[in-house]
Amino acid sequence: MFVRDLTDRDLVGWIDRQLQSARPAPGTTIEAARQEALVGPLRHVYGVSDKILMMTLSTLLIGARNQRTIWFETGKAMIAVDTLVHNFLHRTGILGTCGTPHTYGAACYAPGGCAEIIRTLADRIDVRTLSRAFPQKFPRFVQNALWRFCSGDGLNLCNGNRIDDRQACDISYCYLYQKCSREPLKGLKTTAKSDIYSDN
């Protein structure tokens, strides 16, 4: 119904128009303005969260790299924060040191939240060292790398199946063990098992 009623059955044209008309507010970036131009109207679709919108739109936009540069520039900056990524930032102490401690949810996308931390990390990582086909800054790739570090389908290290959330992590062979703060999640909501196996 969104495609029928609000895009006049032309989703591609609507995306083009939304991205072209986006203007950053003071103190924000053009990438953030473009993301909001797409995600904002779609938040009214029942049952769709920012996480799902970011994940889905990012894949779509990145896939159009050779045809629409502005799509790729927007998609590569989209960050989908799920419980695995949020809990990783909490357990390692990164959230408490570099951001604003919060429970999983909308605050992950607020100032000082998980998404902002990942963007800051991405600004300091030149992912062209991994592939010359990548852009220098690639926040979505950095976020996905964190997710794969935790995911059961990835390295399967930092997740609720491997760590008792009431205690500090004791996986001593983890690559980050010596530098990690190993903070228990304590009273925070524990990692959902579905998030361990799929980027959703």
pLDDT in tens, 175-186: 999 999 999 987
| Model confidence, pTM | 0.84
Q: Does residue 54 contact residue 79 with C-beta atoms inside 8 Å?
A: yes
pLDDT band at 188 (very low <50, low <70, confident <90, very high): low
Give the dihedral of Cα atoms 194, 183, 155, 60; nearest 10 deg: 60
Residue 196: what pLDDT? 44
Q: Does residue 61 contact residue 74 with C-beta atoms inside 8 Å?
A: yes
Provide, for the chain, the percentages of residues in helix, strand and coil under a 3-state DSSP scheme, each rounded to the nearest 5. Answer: 50, 0, 50
CA distance linking residue 123 with residue 142, whole number of Å: 10
